[in-house]
Amino acid sequence: MPALLPRLAAPLLAVPLLLAACAPRQAIVQVPTFQTESVRLQSLTLPGGGSPATATLSLMLRVQNPNPYPVRLARAGGHFFLEGQNVGAVELPNIDLPANGEARQQALLSLPITLANLGQFVRVGRGEAVSYRIDGNFTVDAGLFGKPNFGPYTLSQGVLRQPRILP
């Protein structure tokens, strides 16, 4: 009889493990969120010397990590839109986020000026309100929990309005 007890105990212990495997689970890595603190047109440059016309924007984001462990945001990038028009590709720098915390991320965006988007950049430079949006994706390096990719979706959006820098 004592030899029979270990044989019965193993299947009985396996039942809770099998039931736990069938239970619905929460995602191991939760999606960090982005919030714009500021976006500002820094400069407009004219074409010359083989360089195209560009608009330089300063973007300050607050990125929040809902995970109970630190993560690194990597390969964040996408497209910048003004008034619904795609004005160029953007890449955001990598950022380390503390567990259940947040960090600020600053990026300088250099966007090409074309005949199609010149009007929007001039409006911003004249202090008028112009809507913007950043759509993109990113990878979260969560160590032992993997490197999931998130997106594409809207990372940030709002209205770009600043003091006049153009006549």
Q: Is the pLDDT of residue 95 over 60?
A: yes
Per-residue pLDDT of 114-127, as tens digits, reads 999 999 999 999 99
Q: What is the DSSP string of 99-141?
A: TT-EEEEEEEEEEE--TTTHHHHHHHHTT--EEEEEEEEEEEE
The pLDDT score that the predictor gives to residue 121 is 93
Give the architecture-level CATH label for domain 27-160. Sandwich (2.60)
The pLDDT score that the predictor gives to residue 110 is 95
Rounded distance between C-alpha atoms, residue 128 and residue 81, angstroms:
16
| Mean pLDDT in residue range 36-61 | 93
Query: Domain spans of the chain?
Result: 27-160
How many alpha carbons lie under 13 Å from residue 154 in its C-beta half-sphere? 10
- Return the percentage of the chain with pLDDT > 70, whole number: 84
Reported pTM: 0.79
Measured CA angle at 136 (ends 134, 142), to 5 deg: 125
The pLDDT score that the predictor gives to residue 23 is 47
